[in-house]
Amino acid sequence: MNIVIATTKSWNIKNSLAFKELYLNIHETHLITDKNELSMDFISRCQPDFILFPHWSWKIPKEIYEQYTCIVFHMTDLPFGRGGSPLQNLIARNIESTMISAIRVDGGMDTGDIYLKESLNLNGTAEEIFIRASNIIFSKMIPKILEGNIIPIKQDGEPIVFKRRSPQESELRQDFSLNKIYDYIRMLDCEGYPRAFIQFGQHKILFSRASFKNGKIIADVEIIDEGGNHEE
C-alpha cells in the first residue's frame, strides 16, 4: 500500500520514520514535514491510497481531499470538540480523558465520517499528552485503518465547536485557583505553543515544567523584557 504521512511535530516525525522502517516491506511511506510540501504536484507523484494527518494545523487543499482519502486525527470525542486548540479547550473544561477520532476530511471543520476512536488520558504536560497520542495513533489506529476493513460512519450527536485559543488567553489571572494555574501551565507546555505567563510591567514571566504537590506548584520560570531594555 502507498501512503503519505503529513506532520510537523517532532514526536510524530519520529514515529513516522519508525513506522516507515517497520512496514518497509508492506507499505511505501512518504513523509511530509513542512506545510508547503503538501501540494497536488507532490501527491499526484506519490499516488497514495491514504494521506494521514496526525496533528495538522493547516487547511488541506480541496483538490487533494476530493481526489484522495485524507484522514485526520482529532483529539476529541467527535462531534464534541470540533474546531481549534482541542487539548487546551479540553483541559480548560476540567476534562481528564478524551478520545482520538480518526476522520475522513470532507471540507468541513472536523465534520467527516469517523473510521475509529481510541481513548486518551490527559494527565501531564501538553507535550507528554501529544507524545502519548502519537504512540496510540501509530501503534493502534493507523495499522487498523491500513488493514482496509473499516467502513467510516457519519458522526452522531449534537456538535460542540471549540474556538481556537489566542496567545493572550495564556495569561494567568489573579482569580485563578491553584488547580487552574497548574492546568494552564501544563496545557501550554509544549514546542510551538505560547507558554502560560504573567505580565509584570514590561516584563513577561513564562512558566513551564510544573508539578503540583502538597498544595503548591513548583515550576521553571523564564522572564523576558518586552520593552527592549537589556543591560549587559
Kindly report the average pLDDT of the chain as a whole number.
Answer: 93
Alpha helices in the chain (DSSP H): 10-22, 40-46, 62-67, 86-92, 126-136, 142-146, 178-187
For 16-45, what is each residue's pLDDT tens digit? Answer: 999 999 887 788 999 999 999 999 999 999
Which residue type is seen at 81?
G
Residue range 190-211, pLDDT digits in tens: 988 999 999 999 999 999 999 9
**In this structure, is the dihedral angle defined by the CA atoms of residues 105, 106, 109 and 114, taken in order, positive or negative?**
negative
Same domain, 212 and 158: no
Where residue 204 sits, what CATH number does that domain have?
3.10.25.20
Q: Do 108 and 16 share a structural domain? A: yes
Residue 232 lies in a domain: no
Please tell me which residue, 148 or 160, carries the higher pLDDT value: 160
For the stretch 135-147, pLDDT in tens is 999 999 999 999 8
For 106-116, b where at least 16 C-beta lie within 10 A, e where not — what string?
Answer: eeeebbbebbb
207 and 95 fall within a common domain:
no
pLDDT at 69 (0 to 100):
96
The three-point CA angle 95-129-87 to 5° equals 45
Q: Does 137 share its domain with 190? A: no
Measured distance CA(148)–CA(132) in Å, rounded: 24
Number of structural domains (the chain) is 2
Q: Does residue 87 surpass a pLDDT of 90?
A: yes
CA dist 213 and 91 (Å) reads 19
Q: What is the pLDDT of residues 96-128, one digit of tens each?
A: 999 999 999 998 999 999 999 999 999 999 999
Residues 40 and 150 in one domain: yes
Residue 230 lies in a domain: no
20: domain CATH number is 3.40.50.170
3-state DSSP assignment of residue 83: strand
Confidence of residue 231 (pLDDT cuts 50, 70, 90): low
What percent of the chain is modeled with pLDDT above 90?
89
Torsion from C-alpha of 138, 140, 141, 142, nearest 10 degrees:
50
191 and 106 assigned to the same domain: no
Domain stops at, among 115, 142, 162: 162
Does the structure show a pLDDT above 50 at 61?
Answer: yes
At residue 25, the pLDDT reads: 79
Q: Indicate if the pLDDT at residue 169 is higher than 50.
A: yes
Amino acid sitting at position 232 = E
CA dihedral sign of residues 33, 163, 195, 128: negative
Closest CA to 100 of 86, 111, 112, 88: 86
Could you tell me if residue 99 is inside a domain? Answer: yes
Quick one: pLDDT band at residue 232, thresholds 50, 70, 90? very low
Residue 83 has pLDDT above 80, yes or no: yes
Distance of alpha carbon 157 from alpha carbon 151, whole angstroms: 19
Tell me phi and psi for residue 185, to 5 degrees: -65, -50
Which cell numbers hold the place of 51? 494521506
Q: What is the mean pLDDT of residues 70-79?
A: 97
Looking at the fold, whether 173 and 153 belong to one and the same domain comes out as no
pLDDT of residue 23: 83
What domain range is 221 assigned to? 167-225
> Quick one: which of 106, 120, 19 has its CA closest to 59?
106
Residue finishing a domain among 162, 186, 209: 162
The model scores a pTM over 0.75: yes
pLDDT at 229 over 70: no
